[in-house]
Structure 1
Amino acid sequence: MNRLLAFILLLVTSNVVLAQEVAMNASEIEAFKQQVNMLSKNTNTITSDFVQYKHLDFLENDIETKGKLAFKTPGLVRWEYTDPYEYSVVFKEDKLLINDGGTKSNVDIGNSEMFKKLNNLIVNSVKGTLFNGDDFLITYTKTKDFNKATFVPKDKKMAQYIASFELLFNTKDGTVKEVKMIEPSADFTRIVFSNRVLNGPVSDAVFTN
């Protein structure tokens, strides 16, 4: 279970060199939230490639893995790591469907409030919709290239695993370009999305694992 929790935490992360980052004012925040929420309402599926960078303080170089993401409303998510190893997890209803290089297992998360919150965190991070809740303290900043929302969990149990996490959005279309999770130790994980396709065909079979 500890390994599974660590894996889930790896899914919610990003890092970027910040230049001229300034706080948004109230009207900018409202416009930004409306842009993201409108995009979310009109998005039924997402597919994307991603590169994940895991930063550990004792390692000279970040650990890099590559994979593919698939999302389908209302809450189906598949994370598939393809390089340098094969590992996939499907979030489906109250289940985690795991395929570790051909070894398959299911985990029931229906009775775990922590896993439910983490699942919602992952789904809403993919969609970019985390603004309408009481679980986080949220701050909003911007540069000429991106808008950023930083979330600090209020729940003490979640704060044991996540100190904060950040979502970076394209300023032009409101899509999520990077996600970053910072652990209490200051280690962090970063996911950078590319080749994102919205509302393309995604079969339900993708989420069977």
Structure 2
Amino acid sequence: MKTKLLLLTILLCSFKISTQEIKMSAQEIAKFKETVESQSKSIKTIKTDFVQIKHMDFLTKDIESSGKLNFKVPNTLSWQYTKPYQYSIIFKNNKVYINDQGKKSTVDAKSKIFEKINKLIVGSVSGNMFDDKEFDISYFKTKQHYIAKLIPKTAAIKKMIKQIDLYFPLKENTVSEVKLIESSGDYTKITFKNKILNAKIDDAVFTN
């Protein structure tokens, strides 16, 4: 029994050490940013599955959904939710196209706030969000990830988002997970899986 407890303690301590966040040095930050920005410039398209977790304090259980995401430069983006419901949202040509289980609508989004939101979403997907004018950014690392934590500077974004955490696997240069933390403390966590870069994407994907 004592041996089992000792092994469990060792495993728990190992997990804590492996997930501990350590602040990156200025040299590490410069190298990391250079690598990610270089990768971002080479990205023309992204195809990936995603799992989204929505946490709200007043709910006893998190809300989980999943689907597929397609992105094409410069800022055409399609989120297609397939579970537990059918829902899609497409950002294209300064418009937002929504298909809620067959009920379609279009929103004209020619505004400064939309430009910032669209830039934020596209940047979250591609990893190209290192804009010191828009965010206060701090950088950390664990044994699995590099982490960029972004705090918005503009009042308009602060009303919606308190902080954005981007997770980059050590052996990759693109985002594997995004955590959007709201002012209330509620958050949305999106994990990307089976990601394919620069594959051909049919334009029909961006039509609902």
Q: Same fold (TM over 0.5)?
A: yes
**Structure 1 residue runs without a partner (length 5+):** 1-16
Q: Deviations over 1:28-86 (max 9, x none)?
A: 00110111111111111100001100001011111000110000111110001000111
**Correspondence 1:39 to 2:36:** no
Tell me the CA shift for residue 122 of structure 1: 0.3
> Partners in 2 of 1:150 and 1:74 — Cα distance?
24
- Point out the structure with max Rg over C-alpha: 2
Change (3 A) 1:121 1:182: same
Tell me the CA shift for residue 175 of structure 1: 1.6
**Counterpart position of 1:92:** 92
> Partners in 1 of 2:62 and 2:141 — Cα distance?
26
Paired amino acid for 1:35: T
Task: Within 5 Å, give how 1:1-209 maps onto structure 2.
Answer: 19-110=19-110, 112-209=111-208
Q: Once the two structures are aligned, what percentage of the paired residues are identical?
A: 49
> Partners in 2 of 1:91 and 1:107 — Cα distance?
10
Higher helix fraction: Structure 1 or Structure 2?
Answer: 2
Paired amino acid for 2:196: V
Paired amino acid for 1:119: N
> Partners in 2 of 1:73 and 1:100 — Cα distance?
25
Change (3 A) 1:158 1:132: closer
Tell me the CA shift for residue 99 of structure 1: 0.7
Tell me the CA shift for residue 132 of structure 1: 3.1
> Partners in 2 of 1:154 and 1:191 — Cα distance?
23
Q: Deviations over 1:101-135 (max 9, x none)?
A: 1111111101x211111011001111100113411
Tell me the CA shift for residue 156 of structure 1: 1.2
TM-score by length of 2: 0.89
Paired amino acid for 1:24: M
> Partners in 2 of 1:157 and 1:72 — Cα distance?
26
TM-score by length of 1: 0.89
Instruction: Say which structure, 1 or 2, has more relative contact order (CA 8 Å, 6+ apart).
Output: 1
Paired amino acid for 2:151: V
SS of match in other structure, 2:65:
strand
> Partners in 2 of 1:133 and 1:107 — Cα distance?
30
> Partners in 2 of 1:34 and 1:170 — Cα distance?
15
**Structure 2 residue runs without a partner (length 5+):** 1-15
> Partners in 2 of 1:52 and 1:102 — Cα distance?
21
Paired amino acid for 2:146: N
